[in-house]
Structure 1
Amino acid sequence: MTYTDADAARHYEQALGSLLHFREEVAAEAGAVLQASPRSVMGNVLRTYLGLLGTEEKDAAEAATAFGAHRRDVPPAGLTPRERMHVEAASCWLGGDMHRAGRILAELVVAYPKDALALAVGHQIDFLTGNATLLRDRIGGALSAWDVDDPHYGLLQGMYAFGLEEAGHYTLAERVGLEAVERNARDVWGIHAVVHAYEMQGRHEDGIRYLDARTDDWSTGNYLNVHNWWHYALYLLATGRTDSVLAVYDDAVHHEGSAGAAMELLDAASLLWRLYLTGTDTGDRWPALADAWAQRHDGAYYAFNDVHAVMAYVGADRISDAERLVRDREAWLRGAGTGRPALSNVAMTAEIGLPVCRALVAYGQRRYADAVDLLVPVRHRLHGFGGSHAQRDAVQRTLVEAALHAGRHDLARTLLSERLNLRPQCPYGRDARARLQSA
């Protein structure tokens, strides 16, 4: 590790362990690397990745400034080949090209399959770009190079389990995920993979029991706890316990003490939106959530976040704010789309983000036929702007509800047939089919 002394290397290993466990200590340990060795190449790369993984525009800008200074100070000639690839990947992502950054990290792990940082960051890029095949194969392609006794092996299994689930291998995903968590009880990403496998099979009671049995392992002290509480709330919603859903929302998903991070706010919006689609009274939660999004003053950085901000504005009946966001992104595209075509968010916004945002606005204005017309062309391409199947299902449900409201009965029948043949026991699908039959 170039320009990295033994003390810095020790902190780097501790930071890496915290990153793989989603522990909050990762930031302090990454800082300790640079305190011990300010010019450490991998220390600076790690700090840069941490500034990017949260999809926070402000954090990314700060990371870009710091990394730019590092690159001016440390010439590439003295770096190892692996370090140069990390530097190139980090630079590409800072420049807005997530897809190229992911490709570079994929090339890196062909030569260095035990680079846990490259695997973990590449895995998250695959998630943020919605690439289910790479979520599975990036980890699967490296896993055989690992010794099963390696302390990080189980954490790689947890990543692999999530990739298997997103690629549709639910039974195998459950098995690998359970084995990963047996190796590391506080592997919250592995727990999260098992939870996704249950969600996609409609095994909501199994999911509740699994999370209840491991509450102490996943519910506090990590960056994924809000998201896993969101999954818990989805299970409660599916089993008809709306009061409990709102209690989880207030206690864990969004409240006065929430940090206001995009990853947490989008979970809050996604959960309330599902209740909005069912006509459930959620009290004053929408206005508070819309305020939280507005206070961020986000620019055009990640279309997936934009969609959830629009959900919050529409849910709070702040249509003008939603329309203003849409106009802002349209104006950004007119500039960025021609000037910086390599930006991953250009295609994400143009092809998926804006059509979905416009559809949400149309739904909020009860222009259901317009919502249908906007969503049908993109419904099989929603993965292109990131997230998981479970997250994107909020948009898929919006299409179902819009089709029902618009009287598009043939389309609604087709959509519900798709859902129920995959998850015949899913209460939402059965309820929507009953409403269609009544109509």
Structure 2
Amino acid sequence: MAGDRHGHPMSRTSTEAVDHYEQALDHLLFFRAEVADAAGRVLSAAPRSVMGHVLAAHLGLLGTEEKDADGARATFERFKEHVHRGEMTPRERMHVAAATSWLKGDLHRAGRVLGEISVEYPRDVLALAVGHQIDFFTGNAPRLRDRIGGALSAWDTADPHYGPVLGMYAFGLEEAGHYEQARETGLAAVDRRPRDVWAIHAVVHTYEMQGRFADGIRYLDARATDWAAGNYLNVHNWWHYCLYALEAGDVSRVLEIYDSALHHAGSTGAAMELLDAAALLWRLHLAGQDAGDRWQRLADAWAARHDGAYYAFNDVHAVMAYTGAGRTAEAERLVRDRERYVAGSGPRLSNHAMTADVGLPVCRALIAYGNEHYDRAVDLLLPVRHRLGEYGGSHAQRDAVHKTLLEAALRAGRHELARTLLSERVNLRPVCPYNWLARARLADALGEGAQAAAARATAADQAAEGMAALKR
């Protein structure tokens, strides 16, 4: 029986198909578009390959696209009709169980089964990579860290995939709050494989969380040839660049990048790209910046997708787009549809809880904010603000919702709450012009002119370093 490079037997898989499988894993780890073709070649060479079908199933799920998932589910069910458990290795049976769970909508069980694989087979790259993404989609920061950390000591540092595994660990460390260790680990991964865009992304997150936006600008500029094109993550890393530029106060640069990289006539319309575009425009909206007709074009792109209830994190960003465009009726229609979904779907679906417990309150709050019902937005967000991780994403992504709560509190005149929220933010991230400008606005509202002036001066000093980095 043929096996992969780490000694895992692969049933029904020829040597040629194994070679294609290894190529596909390499593309997957580096977010290359070629992964789909390589996975197709696995099944062309070995149509009954168990791991080939498992890989294809996961590729249909990783983009959080409902239509792709439907197609993957139908194909995988047909495959299972023609394979018996006795024909699979124990590891393959676990992989089939994990893929089946995710295809049925149970991300959490899929993640647990993949974790069991990693305990017994810590060098199973597919189990680590897919499990890592599930931890991201479910917002499980400790698991993002420990899934990879628990396997890492089993790896030979000379293994060509050790670098990207290290890059995954860096992101898990960052989400779990170990920023210095995460940055050092991510930089080590990039030293091994310069085009490891996930490791670059992990380093970028550490700069974001520490308020080191000038360092982030310099880092992304220095490595632009490695991340800015030719991979599925380039739009997201451009989004991070925009966050840095926004902190520096360079709105024109933010909009320039938005138009050239985040959303334009040639954009794919993929959910992963549209949510970055919505998250960026919403931040501009919170800052009182005019995005022109970009909102309408983005809302059109979301509407053209005709998404059903599949992933609450995507729904929230669709509502941002509709609300930002002033298309409240479409935002409310999405909310009503998700309310019907929650009433009619079973709790075993991961997205059921994500939508009911977090997604719907956040969507309703965004609509309330758009309608200038700031007190209602506050009342909707306060109960869920410490639970936002349950519907996925990173700390940096979810910060748009935390900022919405703060802005609503400021605009509703709920000064004590705004003071508390700002105290949390400033003490966690003292280098952040947004935080200091918000503190200045609160001081203005309270008639504290000297404190307002001092806060604005701090913001200006901090933004100047970022602006200098942008103009290098």
TM-score by length of 1: 0.99
Give 1:199-214 correspondences, 5 Å limit.
199-214=208-223
Letter in 2 for 1:101: A
Is 2:48 the counterpart of 1:42?
Answer: no
Report Cα offsets for 1:178-235 as digits up to 9, x if no partner: 0000000000000000000000000000000000001010011111000000000110
What is the CA–CA distance in structure 2 between the aligned matches of 1:357 and 1:130, rounded to whole Å?
18
Q: Could you tell me which residue of structure 2 aligns to residue 299 of structure 1?
A: 308
Report Cα offsets for 1:5-48 as digits up to 9, x if no partner: 01100000000000001111100000000000010000000000
Is 2:38 the counterpart of 1:32?
Answer: no
C-alpha deviation, 1:77, in angstroms: 1.6
Letter in 2 for 1:175: E
C-alpha deviation, 1:78, in angstroms: 1.0
Q: 1:117 aligns with which of 116, 126, 129?
A: 126
C-alpha deviation, 1:353, in angstroms: 0.1
Q: Could you tell me which residue of structure 2 aligns to residue 360 of structure 1?
A: 366
SS in 1 for 2:81: helix
Q: Could you tell me which residue of structure 1 aligns to residue 194 of structure 2?
A: 185
Is 2:422 the counterpart of 1:416?
Answer: yes
SS in 1 for 2:122: coil
Is 2:441 the counterpart of 1:435?
Answer: yes
Q: 1:132 aligns with which of 135, 141, 152?
A: 141
Letter in 2 for 1:341: P
Q: 2:385 aligns with which of 357, 371, 379?
A: 379
What is the CA–CA distance in structure 2 between the aligned matches of 1:307 and 1:77, rounded to whole Å?
44
What is the CA–CA distance in structure 2 between the aligned matches of 1:108 and 1:281, rounded to whole Å?
49
Report Cα offsets for 1:45-81 as digits up to 9, x if no partner: 0000000000000000000010011000111221000
Q: 1:67 aligns with which of 46, 53, 76?
A: 76
Q: Could you tell me which residue of structure 2 aligns to residue 288 of structure 1?
A: 297
Q: Could you tell me which residue of structure 1 aligns to residue 267 of structure 2?
A: 258
SS in 2 for 1:73: coil
Q: Could you tell me which residue of structure 1 aligns to residue 112 of structure 2?
A: 103
What is the CA–CA distance in structure 2 between the aligned matches of 1:271 and 1:76, rounded to whole Å?
47
What is the CA–CA distance in structure 1 between the aligned matches of 2:85 and 2:278, rounded to whole Å?
43
Q: 1:349 aligns with which of 352, 355, 358?
A: 355
What is the CA–CA distance in structure 1 between the aligned matches of 2:331 and 2:425, rounded to whole Å?
29
Q: Which has the larger radius of gyration?
A: 2
Is 2:63 the counterpart of 1:57?
Answer: no
C-alpha deviation, 1:291, in angstroms: 0.3
Q: 1:196 aligns with which of 205, 226, 237?
A: 205
What is the CA–CA distance in structure 1 between the aligned matches of 2:16 and 2:83, rounded to whole Å?
20
What is the CA–CA distance in structure 2 between the aligned matches of 1:44 and 1:425, rounded to whole Å?
48
What is the CA–CA distance in structure 2 between the aligned matches of 1:21 and 1:279, rounded to whole Å?
37
Report Cα offsets for 1:342-383 as digits up to 9, x if no partner: 100000000000000000000000000000000000000000
Runs of 4+ in 1 over 3 A off after TM superposition: none
Q: 1:169 aligns with which of 178, 195, 202?
A: 178
Is 2:245 the counterpart of 1:239?
Answer: no
What is the CA–CA distance in structure 2 between the aligned matches of 1:32 and 1:154, rounded to whole Å?
25
Report Cα offsets for 1:388-407 as digits up to 9, x if no partner: 00000000000000000000
Letter in 1 for 2:38: E
SS in 2 for 1:38: coil
Q: Could you tell me which residue of structure 1 aligns to residue 11 of structure 2?
A: 2
What is the CA–CA distance in structure 1 between the aligned matches of 2:120 and 2:170, rounded to whole Å?
23
For the aligned residue pairs, the C-alpha RMSD in angstroms reads 0.4
What is the CA–CA distance in structure 2 between the aligned matches of 1:417 and 1:174, rounded to whole Å?
26
Letter in 1 for 2:386: H
C-alpha deviation, 1:117, in angstroms: 0.4
C-alpha deviation, 1:321, in angstroms: 0.2
Q: How many residues align?
A: 436
What is the CA–CA distance in structure 1 between the aligned matches of 2:431 and 2:225, rounded to whole Å?
29
**Unpaired stretches in structure 2, ≥5 consecutive residues:** 1-9, 446-472
C-alpha deviation, 1:278, in angstroms: 1.1
C-alpha deviation, 1:106, in angstroms: 0.4
What is the CA–CA distance in structure 2 between the aligned matches of 1:183 and 1:297, rounded to whole Å?
42
What is the CA–CA distance in structure 2 between the aligned matches of 1:34 and 1:219, rounded to whole Å?
31
Letter in 1 for 2:111: G
What is the CA–CA distance in structure 2 between the aligned matches of 1:425 and 1:305, rounded to whole Å?
30
Q: 2:90 aligns with which of 60, 81, 95?
A: 81
What is the CA–CA distance in structure 1 between the aligned matches of 2:71 and 2:18, rounded to whole Å?
24
Letter in 2 for 1:302: Y
What is the CA–CA distance in structure 1 between the aligned matches of 2:393 and 2:336, rounded to whole Å?
24
Percent pairwise identity: 70
What is the CA–CA distance in structure 1 between the aligned matches of 2:353 and 2:29, rounded to whole Å?
30
C-alpha deviation, 1:283, in angstroms: 1.0
What is the CA–CA distance in structure 1 between the aligned matches of 2:329 and 2:118, rounded to whole Å?
47
What is the CA–CA distance in structure 1 between the aligned matches of 2:58 and 2:342, rounded to whole Å?
26
C-alpha deviation, 1:425, in angstroms: 1.1
